[in-house]
């Protein structure tokens, strides 16, 4: 059975592209397809990447909810609707690939009750630099002599930001010659690889049970 992936994005979609490539010519070929790409930003280039290869897309922006209902109630309604949208797509797995929006219990609860797993890609080692600007914070810590390595991981999504159980982890050394830009390039290269591998591992494990 071919797994159906719903991919959540917010930006350029380079991680999405690695998944698409793997379903067409890589280790995910014949075992998974990207059935839908959903963005919280209408100008996210990842939507164009998906459209170019015939993958359906949709946009679910937060701002209209805040304008109509206010910040707190608007966020709650947004998340409730997001869960309903995802569930309606009937995914085998939801992949956060550069999704810049914290998934609240209003999203995670309904999906968990339907046994729909959600994974996220994060550019840091477990527990090291949770949240935003992880690469910049790791580089700064290295400049201060506090660390000599960082990494990237794919983990299950839970309410605690970047606190879910890791699925795949890879360490990345921080060299004295590195700049923020070169470190970003190294991490992004690793991210593209481990995201695809993690999806493959999950699908393989699921199909064996």
Nearest to 103 by CA among 138, 71, 133, 62: 62
- DSSP per residue, 107-176: HHHHHHHTT-EEEEEESS-TTTS-SS-HHHHHHHHHHTTS-SEEEEEEEE--SSTT-SPEEEEEEEE--T
* Catalytic (active site) residue 192: no
The tokens for 138 are 């790791």
At 208, the pLDDT band (50, 70, 90 cuts) reads low
- What is the mean pLDDT of the segment spanning 103-112? 94
C-alpha to C-alpha distances, 49 to 11, 20, 55, 58, 159, nearest whole angstrom: 11, 9, 9, 13, 29
Domains and CATH numbers, the chain: 3-122+157-170+193-208 (3.40.50.170)
Residue 142 sits at φ, ψ, to 5 deg, of: -70, -40
- Is the pLDDT confidence value at 161 over 90? no
Interatomic CA distance for residues 114 and 78, integer angstroms: 19
- What is the mean pLDDT of the segment spanning 158-176? 88
pLDDT score for 74: 94
Give the best-scoring range by mean pLDDT among 45-54, 98-107, 150-159, 200-209: 45-54
- What is the mean pLDDT of the segment spanning 186-205? 93
pLDDT score for 113: 95
* Tens digit of each residue's pLDDT (9 = 90 or more) over 49-66: 999 999 999 999 999 999
At 160, the pLDDT band (50, 70, 90 cuts) reads confident
CB 156 within 8 A of CB 167: yes
Residues with Cβ < 8 Å from 15, sequence gap 6 or more? Answer: 9, 97, 98, 121, 191, 192, 195
Which of 36, 60, 101, 122 is an active site residue? 122
Q: What is the mean pLDDT of the chain?
A: 93
């Amino acid at each position: 059975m071919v797994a159906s992936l719903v991919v959540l994005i917010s930006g350029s979609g380079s991680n999405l592209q690695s998944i698409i490539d793997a379903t067409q010519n890589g280790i995910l070929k014949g075992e998974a397809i990207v059935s839908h790409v959903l963005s919280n930003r209408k100008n996210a280039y990842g939507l164009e990447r998906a459209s170019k290869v015939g993958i359906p897309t949709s946009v679910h922006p937060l701002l209209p909810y805040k304008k109509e209902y206010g910040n707190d109630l608007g966020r709650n309604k947004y998340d409730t609707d997001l869960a309903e949208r995802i569930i309606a797509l009937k995914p085998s797995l939801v992949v956060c690939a550069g999704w810049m929006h914290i998934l609240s219990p209003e999203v995670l609860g309904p999906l968990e009750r339907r046994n729909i797993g959600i994974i996220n890609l994060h550019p840091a080692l477990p527990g090291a630099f949770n949240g935003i600007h992880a690469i910049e914070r790791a580089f700064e810590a290295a400049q201060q002599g506090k660390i000599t390595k960082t990494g990237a991981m794919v983990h299950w999504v839970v309410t605690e930001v970047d606190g879910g159980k890791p699925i795949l982890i890879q360490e990345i050394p921080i060299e004295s010659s590195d700049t923020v830009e070169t470190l970003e390039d190294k991490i992004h290269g690793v991210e593209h690889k481990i995201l695809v591998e993690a999806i493959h591992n999950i699908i393989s494990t699921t199909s064996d049970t």
